[in-house]
Amino acid sequence: MSSTSPTRNIGLRIEYDGTDFVGSQWQNNGRSVQQALEDAWEQLTQDRKRIILAGRTDSGVHARGQVANVRTTTHHDITTIQRGLNAILPEDVAVLDAWEASYDFHARHDAVRRDYRYLIDDDMTESPLLRRHVVRVPKPLDIAAMAQALEPFLGRHDFAAFVAGQHDGSTVRTCYTATCNRMNIFGRQVIAIDMGANAFLHHMVRNIVGTVLLVGEGKHSVEDISRILQSRNRRQAGRTAPAHGLYLMSVTYPTDAV
């Protein structure tokens, strides 16, 4: 390693409210999470660096456990980095944790699993507190049927029926978990769909949720899900569920990678 090479690799775990972002990665049409992080890093260290994010989230999608890394020569200690970034970052982004990562750690390439949660409110009365963070479906949903409808996704499958637009490369992914349960938020029992996989295709979770909602509404049967999955035809699946109900919850790495 040359004397001019970065000597440290800093890992970051990040939370953000995606409402007012055009997405997690740099874009020319508005503010992104990556831009906010890189601007804050430059202000803290006086050094412009590219911050690598583990997963790409679309406009309106939130994160509880986005992971990033940045290679740097800064002399700031970890506590100063975390506190300093949080003092500079806008109110809709926060660094929850920072650590000294191995020099070769890459937040995106080393990830072996990503977990997402999608939140749905099927109460007949809208909650003003939840409207930007939970998708409202004002009709009773059969969550037992929705839970059954998620079972065919478990394992290794071709998810071409649930990808947005044209996709270069394989559409085969391995889904480790797919559950549907109720959880309490501000005294309201909202529906949480949790999915974990080695990787996700563009809009894959939202397209799956949009299809599973049809089962919850009684418009599709549980058996239809396997047929749609096997069809590899996007037109067979349901609509893309809105972005604001989706959360990147966590990213998992081999213990020796971090």
Q: Which pTM value belongs to this model?
A: 0.94
**Mean pLDDT of the chain, nearest integer:** 94
Question: How confident is residue 2, by pLDDT bands cut at 50, 70 and 90?
Answer: very low
pLDDT (0 to 100) of residue 1: 41
What number is the average pLDDT over the span 61-71? 98
Question: Over the range 90-122, which residues count as b (16 or more CB within 10 Å of their CB) and which as e?
Answer: eebbebeebeebeeebbbeebbeebbbbbbbbb
pLDDT digits (tens, 9 = 90+) for 100-116: 999 999 999 999 999 99
Spot the catalytic one: 20, 47, 58, 115. Answer: 58
Residue 193 has pLDDT above 60, yes or no: yes
List of domains in the chain: 8-109 (3.30.70.580), 113-251 (3.30.70.660)
- Give the DSSP letter string of 30-87: S--HHHHHHHHHHHHHS---PPEESS--BTT-EEEEEEEEEEE-----HHHHHHHHHH
Residue 17 has pLDDT above 90, yes or no: yes
- Start-to-end Cα distance in the chain: 20
Token pair, residue 217, equals 């509404």
Alpha carbons 87 and 83: distance in angstroms, whole number: 6
Residue 58 annotated to the active site: yes
Residue 5 has pLDDT above 90, yes or no: no
Q: Specify burial of residue 217 (Cβ count, 10 A radius: 0-12, 13-18, 19+).
A: middle
Beta carbons of 216 and 141 less than 8 angstroms apart: yes
Token pair, residue 58, equals 């679309």
